[in-house]
């Protein structure tokens, strides 16, 4: 019995270390780009304005979803979730040449955070399509957290009081 617990604990520890070393590797990969996303947007003509316009549209969609949930208006949740997932994503319809430039400069942490938003907004739209309320609530929370996480990390100047908020218990 004791041996069983020991083996189980060892497995957990091993998983923990594997996970930690993955984190270190991901950071090393990131070393390629030192530029903040805002600096990258500024280097590509028109990109910064485009990103801000999409952010404003994301905000409007989130407001629409927020008021649709308590009414069970699944059609609105689905269509707004799909817009966040698709046409309001930063890389939507990006010219292939610009995409190469963008990929060479943007930090992978930012890309991963944007992918979180894509993933969760897609899950939100699917839950709405199935009229699965609990799923809608869970994925709405995840979408909101994706907005907040990225702003907390990459929009400190724009949203200083968010950056100063406490995240630890
Ligand atoms: C992967 C990163 C990322 C995600 C995810 C993200 N944002 Fe942003 N957002 C930014 C950055 C970076 C800026 C600020 C750019 C700057 O410094 O001017 C910004 C700015 C904004 C602005 C200000 C726009 C303006 O005109 O000043 C709004 C509103 C906004 N985001 C809404 C949202 C909403 C709502 C979501 C989620 C549905 C979201 N963002 C998700 C990175 C992100």
- Please tell me the distance between residue 63's alpha carbon and the centre of ligand 1 in angstroms: 14
Domain 35-163 falls under CATH 1.20.1050.140: no
Q: pLDDT value at position 153?
A: 95
Q: pLDDT value at position 120?
A: 98
pLDDT of 97 higher than 50: yes
Task: Enumerate the domain spans of the chain.
Answer: 1-30, 35-163
Average pLDDT over residues 102-115: 96
Q: pLDDT value at position 80?
A: 98
Separation of alpha carbons 20 and 14, rounded Å:
10
- Please tell me the distance between residue 20's alpha carbon and the centre of ligand 1 in angstroms: 29
**pLDDT digit string, tens, across residues 5-47:** 665 555 455 455 545 444 443 444 544 547 999 999 999 999 9
Pocket of ligand 1 (CB under 6 A): 37-38, 52, 55-56, 58-59, 62, 84, 110, 113-114, 117, 143, 146-147, 150-151, 154-155, 157-158
Provide CB contacts within 8 A for 98, sequence distance 6+. 44, 47
- Please tell me the distance between residue 17's alpha carbon and the centre of ligand 1 in angstroms: 34
> How far does CA 161 lie from the centroid of its chain?
20
Record the pTM. Answer: 0.83
Average pLDDT over residues 153-166: 90
Higher per-residue confidence, 162 vs 20 = 162
pLDDT of 162 higher than 80: yes
Average pLDDT over residues 75-82: 98
- Please tell me the distance between residue 98's alpha carbon and the centre of ligand 1 in angstroms: 20
Q: pLDDT value at position 96?
A: 94
Mutate to test the pocket of ligand 1, among 54, 113, 151 (most ligand atoms within 8 A of CB): 151
């Amino acid at each position: 019995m004791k041996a069983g617990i020991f083996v189980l604990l060892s497995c957990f520890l091993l998983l923990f270390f594997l996970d930690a070393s993955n984190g270190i590797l991901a950071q090393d990969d990131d070393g390629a780009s030192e530029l903040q996303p805002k600096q990258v947007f500024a280097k590509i003509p028109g990109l910064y304005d485009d990103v801000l316009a999409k952010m404003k549209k994301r905000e409007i969609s989130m407001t629409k979803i927020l008021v649709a949930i308590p009414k069970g208006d699944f059609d609105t949740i689905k269509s707004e979730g799909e817009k966040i997932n698709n046409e309001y994503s930063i890389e939507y319809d990006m010219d292939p040449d610009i995409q190469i430039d963008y990929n060479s400069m943007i930090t992978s942490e930012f890309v991963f955070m944007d992918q979180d938003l894509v993933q969760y907004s897609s899950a939100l739209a699917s839950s709405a399509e199935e009229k699965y309320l609990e799923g809608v609530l869970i994925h709405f929370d995840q979408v909101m957290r994706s907005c907040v996480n990225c702003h907390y990390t990459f929009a400190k100047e724009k949203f200083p009081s968010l950056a100063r908020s406490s995240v630890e218990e």
